[in-house]
Amino acid sequence: MDERRAELSGSVVGGVEAAGDVVVRWEALGPAVAARLAPSLDAVVDDVVAAVVSGDVPREWIVGRPNARHGVEHGVRGLLAVISRGPHEQLPGRGLYVGFGRGQLRAGRSLAGLLAAYHHAARETWRALATADGAAVLPQETLHALGDAILACLAEISAASAEGFAGEQAARGDDRDASRRRLLTALLRLPAPSQQELARLCTAAGWPPGAARARLPNGDALAPRATSDAAPLVAALAFGRAEPGSLATRLPADALLGVLDDGCWALLPDPDAPGRPAALRRRLAGLRGALGPTVELAQAAESARWARLALALARDSPPALVVADDHRVDLLLSAAPALSSRLERTALAPLATLPATTRERLLETLEAWLRHRGAASLAAAELHVHAQTVRYRVGRLRALLGERLDDPEGRLELELALRARRLRLGPSR
């Protein structure tokens, strides 16, 4: 099944007819094909469920009722029923997927995460069925028709969940997406909203999701949380010019995503949950983004501030997720650019009059020597020179910089000045 087909999700009226603009050759299928595939059904369901729930998915998809296994089993059995009886009958179990769509909104999530899971399940269903024992004797034409039938069922399932999601919105009589945008804007801008206003915005948006009621520092009920004695923890994600549509399927389903004046932003609840940091790096591979530190919800703007600075640090580096907590010293220097510039200028002033080549060589040696705490042999190995060369250069530096090389505060100042210089010159230096 090629990638173009995998992205199709056409609507279906009165039965499973086609997948978008792909017409299924139902005549190549039929009861005999369904009978050959039926013995592998349980193994196919197990494989698809294992693939779908192996990532960072909402907990109720695993332990709730109905859950992911119910969805996969109904989908695979419904697929075989449609293959056997033809496309003119509505997909069996359609109401289950309508309920899944309603459940997404009730949990405060967008529909994108659920639809992405459906596409993942469809790909795994195709892989599992195409490699099943019963498929070994099927002609190529039948296998192609099977892939198109899976897409047709995917389109019907996706349409059913979209119907449930929209129906829940209509039943509520409010615009949850607008409420979530207002909440994101209020959280990431200064001044921060009052505790009462924050509680009101969170209630309207149904975010952040969780199992119990959390409380703000003043005791006001705020939003679901696994523990009731602490405010929810969040971290801000900055993406610059990234499109929210391209991020919706990469971010966890409970992320709060939106566009502000200076780019695309998201708030991630429970950012330090087991497995979540690693999963986030995998999901955002190839994108330029920055993750701010974990803070309480009311301090989300502070996390956003550090995420913005971390994103600027990575502007000349290959696209990747930059974690602010991994670059604390650089962020401190970036947060006060005038002070950093003055520190660099004054601390390294004794070298300013040297020829450029000499100055660069001495600064490189000073940085290595400080990094290795004065161990000339280690600095020499890093610089690929003789240890005696390092000692000679350090002697020149001592003549220029004086007692600062022997004073802890002086060495710290020099290290910060060198780091500020490196930040100013960029990653190539």
The string of pLDDT tens digits covering residues 265-315 is 999 998 988 878 888 888 888 888 899 999 999 999 999 999 999 998 877
Residue 230: the pLDDT is 60
Name the residue among 311, 293, 10 with its Cα closest to residue 148. 10
Residue 172 host element (H or E) = helix 140-172
Given a contact cutoff of 8 angstroms between Cβ atoms, the answer to whether 185 and 205 are in contact is no
Name every residue whose Cβ is closer than 8 Å to that of residue 173 and which is 6 or more positions away in sequence. Answer: none
Rounded-to-integer distance, Cα 187 and Cα 260, Å: 11
Please tell me whether residues 162 and 232 are part of one structural domain: no
Whether the pTM exceeds 0.85: the reply is: no
Final residue before a domain boundary, out of 334, 353, 369: 334
Longest Cα pair distance anywhere in the chain, in angstroms? Answer: 91
Please tell me whether residues 181 and 230 are part of one structural domain: yes
Final residue before a domain boundary, out of 301, 334, 367: 334
The string of pLDDT tens digits covering residues 371-389 is 999 899 999 999 999 999 9
- CATH code of residue 406: 1.10.10.2840
Using left for φ > 0, alpha for ψ between -120 and 50, and beta otherwise, residue 325 falls in: alpha
Final residue before a domain boundary, out of 334, 365, 391: 334
Residue 97: the pLDDT is 85
Q: Which two tokens stand for residue 369?
A: 């020597």
Residue 243: the pLDDT is 65
| DSSP class of 243 | -
Average pLDDT of the chain to the nearest whole number: 79
AA letter at 189: R
Please tell me whether residues 13 and 161 are part of one structural domain: yes
Please tell me whether residues 230 and 373 are part of one structural domain: no
**Ranges of the chain with pLDDT below 70:** 1-22, 55-57, 59-60, 63-64, 87-91, 134, 169-176, 209-230, 242-246, 261-262, 427-429
Please tell me whether residues 50 and 70 are part of one structural domain: yes
Domain total of the chain: 3
Residue 14: the pLDDT is 39
Please tell me whether residues 108 and 255 are part of one structural domain: no
Rounded-to-integer distance, Cα 34 and Cα 86, Å: 11
Given a contact cutoff of 8 angstroms between Cβ atoms, the answer to whether 194 and 222 are in contact is no
The string of pLDDT tens digits covering residues 215-224 is 333 433 333 3
Please tell me whether residues 128 and 156 are part of one structural domain: yes
Please tell me whether residues 158 and 18 are part of one structural domain: yes
The string of pLDDT tens digits covering residues 107-131 is 777 788 888 888 888 888 888 887 7
- CATH code of residue 29: 1.10.490
- CATH code of residue 301: 3.30.70
Residue 290: the pLDDT is 92
Rounded-to-integer distance, Cα 328 and Cα 371, Å: 17
Please tell me whether residues 81 and 203 are part of one structural domain: no
| DSSP class of 223 | E
| DSSP class of 260 | E
Rounded-to-integer distance, Cα 18 and Cα 370, Å: 68
Rounded-to-integer distance, Cα 129 and Cα 37, Å: 7
Please tell me whether residues 165 and 41 are part of one structural domain: yes
User: Which residues on adjacent β-strands are paired with residue 237?
Assistant: 266, 291
Residue 131: the pLDDT is 79
Please tell me whether residues 342 and 327 are part of one structural domain: no
Residue 291: the pLDDT is 93
Please tell me whether residues 164 and 109 are part of one structural domain: yes
Using CB atoms within 10 Å of the CB of residue 46, give its burial: 0 to 12 exposed, 13 to 18 middle, 19+ buried: middle
Name the residue among 414, 371, 417, 365 with its Cα closest to residue 392. 365
- Coil, helix or strand at residue 74: helix
State which residues form the domain around 34: 3-172
Burial 130-158 (b: 16+ CB within 10 A, else e): bebebbeebeeebbebbbbbbbbbbbbbb
